[in-house]
Each structure stands twice: as C-alpha cells, then as structure tokens.
Amino acid sequence: MPNSQEDAVKGGDAQRAHTVALAHAAISSMMEHGLPPSPDFFAIWYDYHAGTTNTLRRLIDTYLTNRRAITEEVMHQIHERFFDTQRESAALMEAAERLRQATDQVVSLVAAASGDTSRYGDALNAFRGNLTDTSDLGRALAGLIAQTQEMARRSALLGAQLDASSHLIIGLQAQLQEALTEANTDPLTNLPNRRAIEALAALRQQEMAVAGRPFSVAVVDVDHFKSINDTWGHPVGDAVLRRIAATLAGQLKDPQACGRFGGEEFVVLLPGLESEAAARVADGLRQAVAAQQYSVRATGGVVGPVTLSAGIATRLPGEAWSALVARADSALYRAKQDGRNRVVQHLPTSLAA
C-alpha cells in the first residue's frame, strides 16, 4: 500500500480512536458525578473533554476546583446556557438539532460496543470452562472462532460508523459555530450583541460567585453622539462607533467582555474586580477613546472631540443582572449630569455613607 494510503488509514484509525476516547470520557464523567446518561449531558461532557468551548470548560473546571457538586440542575443550567439560549435563527436551530442527533448516535454506538464486548467476554469465559472437556473441544473452539469473527465484524462496523459520525460532528460543529457567531454578533461593530453579552455576563457572574470573587460591570455611553450624527451624518456616526468599539476591545484582556448594548451604549464586563479597580479600567478605556483622532476620510474634516462617560456597579450577593445594570446605568446618568467624559461608581448606601 502506498505511503499516502497508509497515512490515510492511520489517520482514520487515530480519528476513530480519538472519537471513541472522547465518547467514553463523556460517559465516564456522567457516571463519576452520578448523572443519568442523557444526550444533553453527553453533549456537555463531550464538548468539555474535546475542549471545543473554552468558556464551558472554564465553568466546569471552576466547579471541580472548588469541589462543588455538579448536579442534574447544574447540568441543565449549563446546557440551557450553551446549547439552548441562542437558538433564535432557523439555521442555528437546525444545526443544533442535527448536532444533538449526531451525539445521540454516538451514545448508541458506544453503548452497542459495550454490549458486544460484554458478550464476547462471556464467550471467552465459556470457552475457558470447556477446556477441561477435551471431547467437546473442537465444537467449543469453532464457537469461539465464530464469536471472534463476529466481534471483528462488529468492531469494523463500529469503527466505520464512528468515523462517519466524527466527520458529521466536525462539520456540524463548524456550521453551528458559524450560526452562533452570526446570531451573537452586532453587525455594525462586530462586538458581541446584547443577547451575547448578557449570556456571557450570566456565565461570568456564576464563575465569580463559585470562586467567591467580585463581579463589576461598566455601562459606557458616547457623549453627544446625536450631534455627531446631526452634523456629519449617520455613515460618519457609524464609522465613529466602529472605531470606538475597536478601541474598547483592544484595551481589554478579553475583547469579548465588551458588547454593544444598543445605539451608542456599550457594556463592559469586569469579573474579579471591585468597584475601585473596575473604575480604573473604565477610566483607561475613556482615555484611550479620547486620545483618538476622528476625521472624515473624504473631506478631512475633524470629528471631535469624541469622549465617553461610564457608570460602574459591583454585584451584590444574589443581585439580578437587571438590577446590577440599572445601578451602573444610574451611575452613568450621574456622570452625564456632572459634565460627561468621566467615570462614576454606584456604591450601595451602606458603603457610600
């Protein structure tokens, strides 16, 4: 066999082995945590062991590191967050359902393989027991040969089926990722849209709560943006927003932690930071935007100065996302009242006194 064909066969064998290993790891994880072998839970653990979704892996690792129980309720929440909440487009729903069917098929294949292995083990034990009766050894050996041939046939069939399933899953993952990206990206700025940033906020809040760390949020608004649109027109206003979005994302360690909330308003997630530290980060964003030169390419006209105002709030124990954003928005309103181009923190009454 030419080397290229040998390499292709070896590659296929390695891919099958990898797929089977991931499937077994997913099932083992469900058994380890006392979870029923449902397709939803299998999809989560398969993704975790494959390392496909970094945020999902970090969340589960947070539970494992802090020795928190991974219950069925936790798994349902994770599945809803990563596999259900962003299914608003038809393409996304179709890709997610086809991926679910593919993972169901892998569960069935692995379960069938486990049953075949068990039956073959029974056949070996039976043959070993018949070794003491030499008069019937020929028939026992013939039976074992038949069982071995059947096991080999089933193993080859399983390998082919898993190979096909792995190719299907890889293709579906790419399709699903494309649909997810489109459904969660603001088309003007390429930042996460409101739905995406709220989903990420829920994840970060949970991570910080499990780790016992603070979670802050900044609501950021472009000062006098209406006058930019009125003076220069909406195409220029859109270009300014794109420039600001790129500046904000470029200043953050996690560019995905900044999203467009609507209009000229952005939200920045600041996990692990108390109010003072969060305010310093937000002020750095404000300075970075103010330092930019905004000009109209066609005419050379200067748009500006362009500045930001921001409101900061740090999550209180048990506080809902909507309440947290409302407090940050209240601080933003004070920043506007106090003259704009500044960062204001919202402190609870007991802390502000």
pLDDT in tens, 171-210: 666 666 666 677 788 888 999 998 889 989 999 999 999 9
Phi, psi of 85 (to 5 degrees): -70, -15
CATH fit for domain 194-352, picks 3.30.70.270, 3.30.428.10, 3.30.365.10, 3.40.1640.10 = 3.30.70.270
- Which amino acid belongs to residue 92? L
Contact yes or no for 250/209 (Cβ under 8 A): no
Say whether pLDDT at 85 is over 50: no
C-beta pairs of 270-273 under 8 Å, 24+ apart in sequence: 270/215, 270/216, 270/217, 270/218, 271/204, 271/205, 271/207, 271/208, 271/213, 271/215, 271/216, 272/208, 272/213, 272/214, 272/215, 273/214, 273/216, 273/314
Token output for 172: 């579906």
| Mean local confidence (pLDDT), 49-62 | 78
* Beta pairing class for 308-314 and 343-346: parallel
71 closest CA partner among 34, 96, 44, 45: 34
| Mean local confidence (pLDDT), 108-131 | 53
SS3 93: helix
Range of 83-87, 119-123, 319-323 with top mean pLDDT: 319-323
Say whether pLDDT at 282 is over 60: yes
pLDDT attached to residue 73: 85
Confidence at 88, pLDDT banded by 50, 70, 90: very low
Percent of the chain clearing pLDDT 70 (strictly above) = 66
317 closest CA partner among 281, 344, 350, 282: 350
| Mean local confidence (pLDDT), 20-47 | 89
331 closest CA partner among 349, 313, 348, 319: 313
83 closest CA partner among 45, 115, 118, 112: 45
pLDDT attached to residue 283: 97
DSSP 225-269: HHHHHHHH-HHHHHHHHHHHHHHHHHHSSSGGGEEEEETTEEEEE
**Which residues lie below 8 Å from residue 68, measured CB to CB, with a gap of 6+?**
62, 210
pLDDT attached to residue 87: 43
312 closest CA partner among 334, 279, 339, 285: 279
**Would you please indicate which residues are annotated as catalytic (active-site) residues?**
264
Q: For residue 128, count other CB atoms closer than 10 A to its CB.
A: 11
Contact yes or no for 243/294 (Cβ under 8 A): yes
Which of left, alpha, beta for 51 (phi over 0: left; psi -120 to 50: alpha)?
Answer: left
pLDDT attached to residue 271: 96
Contact yes or no for 218/282 (Cβ under 8 A): yes
Confidence at 59, pLDDT banded by 50, 70, 90: confident
More confident call, 59 vs 96? 59
Confidence at 98, pLDDT banded by 50, 70, 90: low
31 closest CA partner among 23, 61, 166, 106: 23
pLDDT attached to residue 168: 58
Token output for 75: 């798994």
**Which residues lie below 8 Å from residue 92, measured CB to CB, with a gap of 6+?**
86, 176, 179, 180, 183
More confident call, 140 vs 262? 262
Say whether pLDDT at 144 is over 80: no
- Alpha carbon separation from 213 to 19, 75, 294 (Å, rounded): 37, 22, 38
Contact yes or no for 187/179 (Cβ under 8 A): no
pLDDT attached to residue 353: 37
308 closest CA partner among 249, 244, 232: 244
More confident call, 258 vs 94? 258
315 closest CA partner among 221, 220, 218, 200: 218
Element (H, E) at 344: strand 343-346
Confidence at 281, pLDDT banded by 50, 70, 90: very high
pLDDT digits (tens, 9 = 90+) for 285-317: 999 999 988 888 777 788 878 999 999 999 999
